[in-house]
Structure 1
Amino acid sequence: MSTATPNGAAQGGLRQSMSWLHTWGGLWACWILFVIFLTGTLGVFDDAITRWMKPEMPQAGEKQVIEHLDRPALVRSAQAYLEQVSPVGHFWGVALPNEENPTLRVFWEDEKEVFHRGQLDIESGQPITSKNERETEGGHHFVHMHFEFHAGTAGIWLVGFFTMAMLVGLVSGVITHKRIFKDFFTFRPAKGQRSWLDAHNAVSVLTLPFQLMIAYTGLATFYALYMPLGIIGHYADSDTYFSELLSTPPHREQTHIAAPVVALDQLLLRSEEQIGRPASFVAVEHPGDSSASVRVFGRFIEKEGEYTLRGEGNGLVHFDGITGEQWDVQMPAERRGGQTQDVQTVMRNLHFAAFGGSALRWLYFVCGLAGAAMMATGAILFMVKRRQRSLNEFGAQTPRIYRLIEVLNIGSITGLGVACIAFFWGNRLIPVGIENRAEWELAAFFAVWALTYGHAALRPAGRAWIEQLTACAALCLALPLLNWATVGEHFVLYLQRGDLERGWLEVTALAFGLLSAWCAWKLHRRQQAPATRPARNRTAAQVL
């Protein structure tokens, strides 16, 4: 992250202007972008994280046999339960058992738009009230943090704004660093500011194509939300636009006229016959209202020797929820929307790594970490340069602003790391079976993260970096012990069962723990070394 004064931005040429834009635009965006990148990187393996956080789920190699299950009977049980708990509402959902989750799951949104979920016993159809069921957001927590900060539409807009800022930062960075490719092959360790700039340049250039791709495709995924004027100018709303583009029945508004939902088990049988595969999910919109509609989704089937992309669809049949009239059927792998939708589908699949298997996901994981490192090194470099030579940008308030930036650096970088690993600890320590357990896990994550900012504000910068890195290292390295002590599982057991997903999570936690411990040790060692300049001018960033 280069430096330039505001005056220099006005007086210099294009490169000087881009340097100013890259420095200050990058600084104010880097903290949010670091959160987006780190949580998105963890979210690449959201399913594996969820499996680890739900030890009650079957182990790999212990797949449940589900073909013998009477799916229509299960749907009848689910419909009877939903009609009892929410006869009128906005949504019903029935997730049929699969090989990894043998329970019958139900979801509903009541008239007050409050979302609920539950599990039913597949034999009796009665709610499962066992205290052994571990409610958790699992890896989906990191996915939601990545694209909307658990804040819904407002969060999506926030992420979109900073993603645009990232694209501006990437382009201005390329213009600013005229020797960017030469600098990529240059690294001078233990040189303070020069080392941080070399590290920033290296991770930036190494993953530049990935950063551009991931930012652009992320924006393209939500194009209808970010660029609505074209749709509004030609259609009544986005629902009408998508129904015409995809040749599907349009969304129907509630009439507030009571009407019972048709027997869902019959629609299930008709759907499975139409699409030629078992169903996985049944969704009812506006149950109890004459505008109700039903969608039956097919199950994803990966055929041996045949490459199948999950994003191409698994089959969908659409019905009138009151009369049972079939409105539409979309066969598995059927593509709709023409070239426009094909482009958007490619963008979405690129962003979500919906192809390529585990190898591609590990590549995304490594590149995502490099992107997070790019944000972190840029933010730290800013403080290294200002501590060595203050440019006094804010007059008498400059020291306070610098201190604020220093606190935000610590809390956003090491603090987020501590909060992420604390989320895993919360999964094992929060009692199983308590009400709203998933929300308690999220509360633990945000509480720990908030505490790291408070800690950074109260402690000298150098000590705060060391203490938070040490805390992160301790939590990461002790996670396998916690897992063994609380649920009796460990890495060797995972290997014996062939459950590599859970095993690799613990290996990754140990790797992050060792890295954090090494960084803390380096900082401590440098701070104990004889000072070459007055101690008050030396920060953790300078002594690393």
Structure 2
Amino acid sequence: MKIGSDIVKVYKDVHIWVGIVAGLMLFVAFYGGAITMFEKPLERWATPPSSLAAPPPLERAPELVSAVLAAHPEAARHYLVMVETAPDAPARVMWRVPGEIRRQFTEYAASFDADGKLQVERVRKTPVAQLIDTLHQHVGLPFPDVVSRNMMGVVALLYAVALVSGVIVLLPTLVKDLFALRVGRNIKRMWLDVHNALGIVSLPFHLVMALTCVIFAFHDPVYALQDKIVYPNGIQWGEEHAPAQPTNSTPLPPAELLRRVNEQLPAFHVYGFSFEQHEGRLEGRVTGLDIRYGTRARTYSSTHFDPYTGEVDTHDLPGHMDDWDTAVNAFFMLHFGSFGGNTVRWMYLLLGLAGAMLFYTGNLLWLESRRRKERGTAPVVQKRSTRVMANLTVGVSLGCVAGMSATIAATKWLPARVADLAAWHEGIYFAVFTLAIAWSFLRGAARSAAELLWLCAALTLAIPLSSLAGVWGVGGTWNHAGAGWVIDLSATVAVPVFLLIAAHSRRRMMKGHADSVWSPRTVPLPP
């Protein structure tokens, strides 16, 4: 395919500068997004064990609900009956009480002790998975949700422009350069080959991410437009399918509800039921998963049901949606990788890490290309802007990695020591992230690259070591047998990878070009 060199030059400039503007934020988004592919195992791994007695059988759930509502009337507003319990949902009956801050809740769980008396405890679910997901959604920005989401939408649009312009730039040499990896003295050529291969091979994934991120960021205007065009009477949020006024005064027991739901949805694996008081009547939702379909949420689907008859409203469930809702569901499904089970989750994890590498190598290419062409034997003097970008590339990228490892490792130690877990986890991440950036400016990109990679390896190693400390019960730590093993395994595998990259970074620092931004040696100004 023949494309004029002037057109390629224009698109190359667009690709470079758009990538530079958005690349560091996209690194945080993709690295955090890769971790969230196993958000549920991370939640289970990070939640301290419950002190409650073992959950009573589902058949005794009505008795437990009655005891909870008698002792805690506020639970009647919204409570859960769990069919399946887990470390992050340890009781048969749970409920939430709204906090003073919007969208924050205090969660409680209940059981019966050996004497049949009501036990209640506050669930201390460690919010580290939510923090990483928020960093992923906000492209690492510590701003309010409305600001960060709009900025994320702009970054996603820039990301789409960079993808299209990058493909156009590569088209003239696509066949020749796609799988080429020329390792040698020309470092820039090697990074270009890596960058091109990662970009082209994962292009469909990146196009899906760019498109869905734009939709997520600007979903309010999309809903407003949808309200006018698709729904003639406006979007009826939950009203179109609200259950009828019950004729019975007592809801069916959960065991009977489970039987009736299984009859209507034989392939739907029920996790639990939630009940909410609304205008004097009890409304219900059933949560579970049908593995045959992708889901709007990462790990579950949910829909309304009538708690008095057990009749399920299936319009919200994949496989039962109309064409429009199926299309909307596809956006979420493709973004979250919530289809195909663990095979797709591992694939999305690897694609997410490859995406982070794509943005990192893009910045490396820009930095290498800034070196001025040597004239004779005169050394090249790097511009201050180039050194600043090198420091930011190292500090932001490795600070993100180190910060996330540090706050994950802290999950086994904090619950026994602090009250506000969310504030501590956020503080740990941003403290490590900020210090990494400061260190890269203090030491320079060349020295700090290897040093921060060592820090990443050490903090990532602290994750499985914290689980090991929990096995031995050191300092109030804990470990759930068989829960979250994928977290420890992934962290253990990552450690030698960080050490290997650190060794290559140090070798580049010691033996690379003296006038490179990656050299710690000072190049004197020409006379």
Identity %: 21
> For the structure 1 residues 485 and 273, does the alpha-carbon distance in structure 2 shift closer, same or farther, using more than 3 Å as the test?
closer
Q: Distance in 1 between matches of 2:384 and 2:30?
A: 28
Which runs of structure 2 are paired with 1:116-155 in the superposition (5 Å)? Answer: 116-123=105-112, 124-128=117-121, 134-148=124-138, 151-155=144-148
- Decide whether aligned partners of structure 1 residues 282 and 241 sit closer, same or farther in structure 2, where only a CA change above 3 A counts: same
Question: What SS does the aligned partner of 2:120 have?
Answer: coil
How far, CA to CA, are the matches of 2:505 and 2:468 in structure 1?
Answer: 32
Cα distance in 1 between the residues matched to 2:424 and 2:98: 21
Question: What is the CA-CA distance between 1:374 and the residue it aligns to?
Answer: 0.5
SS at match of 1:439: helix
- Residues 109 and 115 of structure 1 are in contact (CA less than 8 Å); yes or no, is this contact kept in structure 2? yes
> Could you tell me which residue of structure 2 aligns to residue 115 of structure 1?
104
By how many angstroms is 1:293 displaced?
6.8
In the alignment, the residues of structure 1 paired with residue 261 and residue 510 of structure 2 have an alpha-carbon distance, to the nearest angstrom, of: 69
Are the equivalent residues in 2 in contact too, given 1:249–1:327 (CA < 8 A)? no
| Letter in structure 2 aligned against 1:18 | Y
Choose the corresponding residue for 2:34, options 31, 41, 49: 41
1:56-87, Cα deviation, whole Å (9 max, x unpaired)? 279xxxxx8764452223333444455358x9
What residue number does 2:204 align with? 209
Aligned to 1:120, the other structure's residue is in SS state strand
In the TM superposition, 1:428-439 aligns within 5 A as 428-432=412-416, 434-439=418-423
After superposition, residues 195-344 of structure 1 pair within 5 angstroms as 195-220=190-215, 224-231=219-226, 233=228, 240-243=234-237, 247-249=240-242, 266=251, 275-276=261-262, 280-284=272-276, 291=279, 294-300=282-288, 307=292, 310-311=295-296, 313-317=301-305, 329-330=313-314, 333=317, 338-344=322-328
Provide, for residues 282-319 of structure 1, a one-character-per-residue CA deviation record: whole Å limited to 9, x for no partner. 2537x7xxx577541224266xxx84655594542268
Unpaired stretches in structure 1, ≥5 consecutive residues = 1-10, 59-63, 251-261, 391-397
- Does residue 507 of the first structure (1) align with residue 489 of the second (2)? yes
- 1:372 paired with 2:356, answer yes
SS at match of 2:168: helix
Equivalent in the alignment of 2:345: 361
Equivalent position amino acid for 2:66 in 1: R
CA shift in 2, pair 1:283/1:526, >3 Å: same
2:503 aligned to 521, 527, 531, which one?
A: 521
State the alpha-carbon separation in 2 of the partners of residues 296 and 125 from structure 1.
Answer: 24
* Matches of 1:164 and 1:502, distance apart in 2: 35
Q: Counterpart amino acid of 1:122?
A: S
Q: Deviations over 1:518-537 (max 9, x none)?
A: 111122233333x6544777
CA deviation digits over 1:187-207, x for unaligned, max 9? 112421111111111111121
* CA displacement, residues 359-412 of structure 1 (integer Å, 9 cap, x when unaligned): 11111111111111101100121112114559xxxxxxx944333322221122
Aligned partners of 1:326, 1:504: CA distance in 2, in Å? 37
CA distance in 2: counterparts of 1:349 and 1:434, whole angstroms: 37
Displacement of 1:105 in angstroms is 2.6
Structure 2 distance, partners of 1:279, 1:528, is: 56
> Which deviates more from structure 2 when the two are superposed, residues 276-285 or residues 165-174?
276-285
Task: Name the CA distance, whole Å, in 2 between partners of 1:526 and 1:454.
Answer: 22
Query: Could you tell me which residue of structure 1 aligns to residue 377 of structure 2?
Result: none
Q: 1:383 matched to which residue of 2?
A: 367
* Partners of 2:509 and 2:518 within 8 A in 1: no
Indicate if the aligned counterparts of 1:181 and 1:205 stay in contact, CA closer than 8 A: no
Matched, 1:538 2:519: yes
The 3 A distance-change label for structure 1 pair 537 and 328 is closer
Matched, 1:173 2:166: yes
Count of residues paired in the alignment: 481
Give the match's secondary structure for 1:186. Answer: coil
CA distance in 2, matches of 1:243, 1:332: 12
Once residues 515 and 242 of structure 2 are traced to their aligned partners in structure 1, the CA distance between those partners, rounded to angstroms, is 71
Q: Structure 1 residues 496, 217: CA separation in 2 closer, same or farther (over 3 Å shift)?
A: closer
Paired residues of 2:80 and 2:95 also in contact (CA < 8 A): yes
Q: Once the 2 structures are TM-superposed, how far is the Cα of residue 44 of structure 1 from its aligned partner? A: 0.3
Distance of aligned partners of 1:377 and 1:537 in 2 relative to their CA distance in 1, 3 Å threshold: closer
> Residue 305 of structure 2: SS of its match in structure 1?
strand
C-alpha distance in structure 1 between counterparts of 2:249 and 2:70, whole Å? 10
Residue 73 (structure 2) aligns with: 83
In the other structure, the counterpart of 1:7 is none
User: Aligned pair in 2 of structure 1 residues 97, 145: CA closer, same or farther (>3 Å)?
Assistant: farther
How far residue 483 of structure 1 moved from its aligned partner, in angstroms, is 2.4
- Once residues 81 and 157 of structure 1 are traced to their aligned partners in structure 2, the CA distance between those partners, rounded to angstroms, is 44
Alignment pair present for 1:53 and 2:46:
yes
1:20 counterpart = 2:10: no
Measure, in 2, the Cα distance between the counterparts of 1:235 and 1:180: 42
Deviation at residue 153 of structure 1 after TM alignment: 3.5
Letter of the structure 1 residue corresponding to residue 276 of structure 2? V
Deviation at 1:469, TM superposition (A): 0.4
Q: Normalising by structure 2, report the TM-score.
A: 0.78
- The CA deviation string for residues 398-450 of structure 1, in whole angstroms up to 9 with x for no partner, is 94433332222112211111111101221123252631223312221121111
Match of 1:71 among 38, 61, 66: 61
- Residue 175 of structure 1 and its aligned partner are, at CA, apart by 0.7
Instruction: Give the structure-1-normalised TM-score.
Output: 0.76
Deviations 1:295-344 (A, max 9, x none): 41224266xxx84655594542268xxxx999994478476662111111
- Check whether the contact 2:99–2:106 (CA below 8 A) recurs between aligned residues: no
Contact 2:287–2:301 (8 Å) recurs in 1: no
Structure 2 residue ranges without an equivalent (≥5): 264-269, 375-381, 522-527
Structure 1 residues 534 and 350: CA distance shift in structure 2, 3 A: closer
Relative to structure 1, the CA distance from residue 511 to residue 539 in structure 2 (aligned partners, 3 Å threshold; closer, same or farther) is: farther
How many Å separate the matches in 1 of 2:125 and 2:451? 32
CA 212–272 in structure 1, closer or farther in 2 if over 3 Å, else same: same
Write the letter of the residue equivalent to 1:96: M
Matched residue type, 2:353: L
CA distance in 1, matches of 2:281, 2:311: 10
